[in-house]
Amino acid sequence: MRTLAQASARQLADAWGAWEAPPEIEAIRGPEAGLVMVRGRVGAGGDRFNLGEATVTRATVRLHGGPLAAATVGSAYVLGTDFEHAWFAAAFDGLLADEKLRAQVLNDVLAPLERGQASHDDVRHAEARSTKVDFFTVAREHV
């Protein structure tokens, strides 16, 4: 779910399109946009407080036909208001619920997405680390 939430709508739509004879997707709920109040903690580790809201889109779909032996249900909640993102994330969640297809989805869809996200993170982290500094204090320090 983490990988699906972090993927782009385009990536998921393409991955769905690449699926041979995909099952039918039928909407049960949504996609619909709403809000989740994001919470932080006072001083980072104390009481919870309400920081501010974030837009979230959710969808619940029913998959049937195609390679599926039985109908499955998939759900997704993703940040933002991109209906397509939630729609396809829910569809893949539904595929993951099918025992026979699960391994294939993990392998063919989620693993490449995860690798892409990890390498994106690696680049970002390396960029950030390149700004690490050592400050030298000129005055003598009193310990």
Binding residues for another protein, rule: CB under 8 A, are: 1-2, 5-6, 32-56, 58, 75, 77-81, 121, 124-135, 137
- In contact, 94 and 27? CB cutoff 8 Å: no
Residue written as token pair 């320090």: 141
Which of 66, 84 has the CB closer to another protein?
Answer: 84
Q: How far is the CB of 60 from another protein (least distance, A)?
A: 8
What is the bridge-based pairing of β-strands 24-41 and 48-64? Answer: antiparallel
Q: How far is the CB of 20 from another protein (least distance, A)?
A: 29
Which of 19, 96 has the CB closer to another protein?
Answer: 96
Q: How far is the CB of 108 from another protein (least distance, A)?
A: 21
Beta bridge partners of 55: 35
- Say which residues have a Cβ less than 8 Å from residue 2's Cβ, sequence separation at least 6: none
